[in-house]
Amino acid sequence: MLAKLNALVTKLEKTANDDLKLKLFGSIYSLEIHMYVQKAEFEKAYALIPKIVFGIQEYGSKVPPIRLADFYYSMTAVCIALQKYSEALQYINQLFSSVKIAETEDLYAFAQLIKIMIHYELEHTDLLPYITQSTYRCLKKSEKFYKSEKLILQTYKSVLNNPSKEKELFKKLVAGLKAENEEVMLNHFDFISFFKGKIKGSSMSDILKKGRG
């Protein structure tokens, strides 16, 4: 189906109007990057990022906010899986600065958690206590404050206070996330595989590939 869509783009390249080109850009690249993420083919997903960024720049404000948020979130996830944390921070920051997301939406909460994870990997320990606390206060106000979100925030707070117990605390976190099994949250980002990687000293990409091997 993806091959058929790409063939359609080639066929309509010269005759399609801007509105149709925008729709094809949004649909095809969203489908493709999600497909590669689901298959744990993160290198292929990463290769799409320059094309997606170019499309965002080309179409600008015409890209629907929901589609834009999805692109930035997906690109962030791909970079995290490949341990490209500086790039991941760039895209998560663009998500918050370019798209107005209500604090009540799941995506807002999950993106806040992911931002904490990225700052931790980049060793921005001076920022983390404030970010973690402010995120906790923000999410606590929501009716959808998942137990898994609380577990992640509490774990990072504990790790910051006890760096030597990092692996032990992340092991407890993985067990807790599995026990809660909150699908809405885990379907947005594979937090369990990420923290398994932290425990084993591997990338999230390697953990997922081994799990499917």
DSSP string, 141-207: TSTT--HHHHHHHHHHHHHHH-GGGHHHHHHHHHHHHHHH--HHHHHH--HHHHHHHHHHT--HHHH
Q: Which of 62, 120, 68 is nearest to 89 (CA)?
A: 120
Q: 138-175 pLDDT, tens per residue?
A: 888 776 788 999 999 999 999 999 999 999 999 999 99
On whether the pTM is more than 0.85, the answer is yes
Q: What is the pLDDT of residue 16?
A: 76
Decide if 72 contacts 92 (C-beta within 8 A): yes
In the chain, where the domains are located: 1-100, 127-213
Q: Residue 74 in contact with residue 66, Cβ under 8 Å?
A: no
Quick one: residue 209, left, alpha or beta (phi over 0 = left, psi -120 to 50 = alpha)? alpha
Q: How many helices (H) and strands (E) does the chain have?
A: 12, 0
Provide the token pair at 139: 């999410």
Predicted pLDDT of residue 171: 96
Tokens of 210: 């081994």
3-state secondary structure of 122: coil
User: Per-residue pLDDT tens for 75-107?
Assistant: 999 999 999 999 999 999 999 988 887 655 778
